[in-house]
Structure 1
Amino acid sequence: MRNLRPITGVDLVARVRLTDLDTKEHPLKLYALINAESGSTPNNSEDALRSELQALGLSADIVPVGAGELNTAVQTAIASNPDALIVWGGDGSVACTLSASGPSGPPVLALPGGTMNLVHKRLHGEDMDWKKILASALSAPEPEPFSAGCVSEHLFFVAAMMGQVTALAESREAARHGQLLKAAQLAVNSDALTLDRRLRLESVHASGNQTFDAVAAAVVIGGGSAPRLEVAAIHPQSALDWMAIAVDALANGWRDADSIEIDETRTVLITDFDGQEFAATIDGETVTMPSGTIISLKRHAANVLRARPT
């Protein structure tokens, strides 16, 4: 587990308007990065992408990269001034690219190539067919700003989870593969069910702040047309209650689980009752946060490319 440190994205001078992608006066200049080490990119991903682009009458500079090469590859891609940057990989690959590109960089078209593909689902919905996403986005492009959560200048594009509940990652993975008995066993054996550590969440509102006490919490980037943070405070009353919440959330999703209070805000302050650092995951990355961490909404964190709504 590492300590959370700020990361700085590339702050480019604005050089291409988002509406430029709607013009037909010149062919799109595309740059594509493929993380072949992601969970679900095919072995022939480079040839497959080139073939699909050719079918659309397009071409791109296509660069396969390993996980350790991604940061440098993203910087090189942005420096080439593409009209759009295609990233085929998992959530980490997309988050890295969006953070580096920032609000003045090229719009990013994310193709699902990971295991969970949570950022991709936020962008494109539940259909994770990369060929359909590519064709629809490039045939009727809709570049637009994309919001993120911000923790010490570290951006996240899906969710941050705080507290010992982060130890449930292995349990969630087992449930995702239909191994519910194993998921429950892992939840029981993990430190996630302890009630000893408690957090306080304070959501900021113009009409007055809202405070919640919790054993664990989640801050999720809300969907819809108005960017917002959804704050979930999880407050079990006993280890048995914690177990029920864990199984309910695994089976039905955390929004429908009992003993969870939900609020919407643009800024939330999270403190540990004892003033200690606490465990967290940010878009699946394990970190530690200091007591007094502030999570805020960044309305225009990057530019993305997806299909224009019909």
Structure 2
Amino acid sequence: MGGVKTVQAVINLASGSVQPGAAEEAQAIFDRYPVEAQVCASTVGDLEACLQAALAKSPDLLVVLAGDGTARRAAELCGPEGPLLAPLAGGTMNMLPHAIYGARPWQEALEEILAQGVERPLAGGRIGEHLFLVAAILGAPALWAPAREAIREGRAGVALQRARTAWRRAFSRRLRYVIGEGERAKGEAVIFMCPTASRALADEAQALEAAGLDLHGAREAFRLGLRAAMGDWRDDPAVDLGLCRQARVWAAHGIPALLDGESVELGALAEIEFVPHVARILAPRDEPAGAEGDVARSALNPDAE
């Protein structure tokens, strides 16, 4: 962790998995290392102000304990020339923290990077004004997100109704797409994974991994879901793989999408581009398991959590 002397930490107390006392716990961890650290515990409505105030102090490292949306915003604010960023798992899905640090408690990840963290580049992708740092899932799988959210909220009846709606629409809204310089193709969904999330790409890879899914009914969807659970989904004949720095996806109507696990309704045409250097992250010295399994299960298995 050479060069990190000053740290600003922003903790979202209203986030999905942040427990009371997290600010004090983080400060106690910082106090065990030779850094000067300040912690801002954000309440509802002042998260942006906390981020802006933290970056105004020009720290060597910005630590964020919050959800994926806040981590993405922090990466945008830090930029490639700003302070190092450590986005810790404090949300519901935690796709970016899991991709960087593995699926483990934020306290363990913070201890490790303060002791022996290394700088790594964080690449991503962009669809119009929307940035994603882990994965973008366009098409039918995104329709399941409202049902999953209702399940998390304990609204079983609403979840069932939304699941039925998603199932009816799943095979009726096919996409057309062109990945890189490839041929025009069609399918139910297209997945774009950033280097941080994909086991097939190194962190410094200058491309997105793209996978088009051409499914013909529930039986193929079920088969692909099983393959995703077993980790060999790339070998399925319904998957069209490629690497790209840009791509185009279009449909007759608006395109449902999940960007780092968050639902977004895109227009009828989506233009995807690779962003090679969004920010610099303080990462573990050893590569974690990553979030690819989370991405694959979300895209290929409607029952995945």
What's the CA shift for 1:174?
9.1
Per the alignment, in what secondary structure is the counterpart of residue 31 of structure 1?
strand
CA distance in 2, matches of 1:280, 1:37: 25
CA distance in 1, matches of 2:224, 2:42: 37
CA distance in 2, matches of 1:251, 1:188: 23
- Check the 8 A contact 1:221/1:227 in 2, yes or no: no
CA distance in 1, matches of 2:230, 2:170: 22
What's the CA shift for 1:175?
9.7
Moved over 4 A (4+): 170-176, 183-189, 249-254
TM-score, normalised relative to structure 2: 0.79
| Structure 2 spans left out of the alignment, 5+ residues | 153-158, 288-305
What's the CA shift for 1:249?
6.7
What's the CA shift for 1:54?
1.1
What's the CA shift for 1:137?
0.8
What's the CA shift for 1:86?
0.6
Question: Which range moves more in the overlay, 298-307 or 209-218?
Answer: 209-218
| Structure 1 spans left out of the alignment, 5+ residues | 1-20, 177-182
- Which residue of 2 is the match for residue 264 of structure 1? 243
- Check the 8 A contact 2:139/2:257 in 1, yes or no: yes
- Check the 8 A contact 1:77/1:85 in 2, yes or no: yes
Identify which of 200, 212, 237 aligns with 1:233. Answer: 212
- Which residue of 2 is the match for residue 143 of structure 1? 119
- Which residue of 1 is the match for residue 300 of structure 2? none
What is the root-mean-square deviation in Å for CA atoms of aligned residues?
Answer: 3.1
Identify which of 211, 217, 240 aligns with 2:190. Answer: 217
Per the alignment, in what secondary structure is the counterpart of residue 137 of structure 1?
helix
Task: Give CA-to-partner distance per residue, 1:75-102, whole Å, 9 cap, x none.
Answer: 2211110010010112122111112221
- Check the 8 A contact 1:245/1:258 in 2, yes or no: no
The residue type equivalent to 2:176 in the other structure is R
CA distance in 2, matches of 1:309, 1:110: 17
- Check the 8 A contact 2:180/2:243 in 1, yes or no: no
Identify which of 138, 142, 158 aligns with 1:166. Answer: 142
Greater CA radius of gyration, 1 or 2? 1
Task: Give CA-to-partner distance per residue, 1:240-268, whole Å, 9 cap, x none.
Answer: 33652575377446935662322221211
- Given the alignment of the two structures, is residue 281 of structure 1 paired with residue 261 of structure 2, yes or no? no
- Check the 8 A contact 2:175/2:188 in 1, yes or no: yes
The residue type equivalent to 1:103 in the other structure is P
- Given the alignment of the two structures, is residue 255 of structure 1 paired with residue 233 of structure 2, yes or no? yes
CA distance in 2, matches of 1:145, 1:192: 41
CA distance in 2, matches of 1:285, 1:264: 23
Identify which of 24, 35, 39 aligns with 1:62. Answer: 39
Counterparts of residues 69-148 of structure 1 (less than 5 Å): 69-126=46-103, 128-148=104-124
CA distance in 2, matches of 1:254, 1:115: 26
Task: Give CA-to-partner distance per residue, 1:144-193, whole Å, 9 cap, x none.
Answer: 321011112421111112123212125557999xxxxxx99975552465
Residues 235, 88 of structure 1: CA spacing in aligned structure 2 closer, same or farther, 3 A cutoff?
Answer: same
Residues 62, 190 of structure 1: CA spacing in aligned structure 2 closer, same or farther, 3 A cutoff?
Answer: same
- Check the 8 A contact 1:34/1:63 in 2, yes or no: yes
Give the fraction of aligned pairs with identical amino acids, expressed as a percent.
Answer: 27
Residues 245, 166 of structure 1: CA spacing in aligned structure 2 closer, same or farther, 3 A cutoff?
Answer: farther
The residue type equivalent to 1:211 in the other structure is R
- Check the 8 A contact 1:201/1:213 in 2, yes or no: yes
The residue type equivalent to 1:37 in the other structure is A
CA distance in 1, matches of 2:180, 2:225: 31
The residue type equivalent to 2:73 in the other structure is C
The number of aligned residues is 276
- Which residue of 2 is the match for residue 244 of structure 1? 222
- Which residue of 1 is the match for residue 2 of structure 2? 22
CA distance in 2, matches of 1:86, 1:192: 43
The residue type equivalent to 2:115 in the other structure is S
CA distance in 2, matches of 1:91, 1:105: 19
- Check the 8 A contact 1:50/1:60 in 2, yes or no: yes
- Check the 8 A contact 1:167/1:192 in 2, yes or no: no
Counterparts of residues 194-213 of structure 1 (less than 5 Å): 194-205=170-181, 209-213=182-186
- Which residue of 2 is the match for residue 49 of structure 1? 26
Residues 215, 254 of structure 1: CA spacing in aligned structure 2 closer, same or farther, 3 A cutoff?
Answer: farther
